[in-house]
Amino acid sequence: MRWVEADLFDFSAERMFDAIVVVATLHHLDPLGDALSHLRSLLAEGGLLIIDDFDLEAPDESTCRWYYDAQQRLEAAGLYSGDRIKTDRDLPPLTRWRLDHQHEHKLHSGAVMKAALAEQLDLCRVERGPYLYRYVCAGLPEDEIGARAAEEIFKRENNAVAEGELLPVWLRFVAQHARHTLRHGA
């Protein structure tokens, strides 16, 4: 296995990759079609592109409420820095989510990423699941108490998603480069 950290648009390879994994990045890449075209050009025929990301548009008001409540409860317990809580706590949770995800460039939603992937590659699988625990757990102490809290947060989000109480925010796309996937002149 070879690990490469580089600017995608400047990266070239001597040989094609059997698999490329892109983690929490695709929603930022612009222009998205060009980024996916370049990733496809780096894949060997039959190679897999695995995207681990999140769907910006997935959470509803109650999902966002759970997320912000988890942060605030951990803060009250002394396990989470209030500095990590960016937006005004008096705003509605979905408004806070949108403000927290404003960037100098527009972020891509799950639907936009899925459509763009389907234009460039054969989309083999789409999975959804819990994701918000990643944000919350990143602010926990790196000790036994933090580890137990992280495990509990994941378990609660996972169960709530499975029960339909929270919407799944995590996305995984698995796409394959096949000869017939060269579309739209790309």
CA-wise closest residue to 126 among 57, 47, 50, 36: 50
6 with 49, same domain: the answer is yes
- Answer yes or no: do 144 and 185 share one domain: no
Task: Find the CATH number of the domain harbouring 52.
Answer: 3.40.50.150
Residues 113 and 95 placed together within one structural domain of the fold: no
Residue 30 and residue 5 in one domain: yes
- For residue 180, the enclosing domain spans 1-56+106-130+168-186
Q: Give the pLDDT score at 6.
A: 82
Q: What percent of the chain has pLDDT over 70?
A: 96
Same domain as 96, residue 38:
no
Could you give the residue ranges of the DSSP H alpha helices within the chain? Answer: 32-42, 61-76, 93-100, 110-120, 132-137, 144-162
**Residue 11 pLDDT > 50, yes or no?**
yes
Number of domains in the chain: 2
Report the percent of the chain where pLDDT is more than 90: 84
Q: What pLDDT is attached to residue 7?
A: 87
Nearest-Å Rg of the Cα atoms of the chain is 19
pTM of the model: 0.88
Question: Is residue 94 within 8 Å of residue 60, measured between CB atoms?
Answer: yes
Express each pLDDT in 54-99 by its tens digit. 999 999 999 999 999 999 999 999 999 999 998 999 999 999 999 9
Same domain, yes or no: 83 and 136: yes
Do 162 and 181 belong to one domain?
no
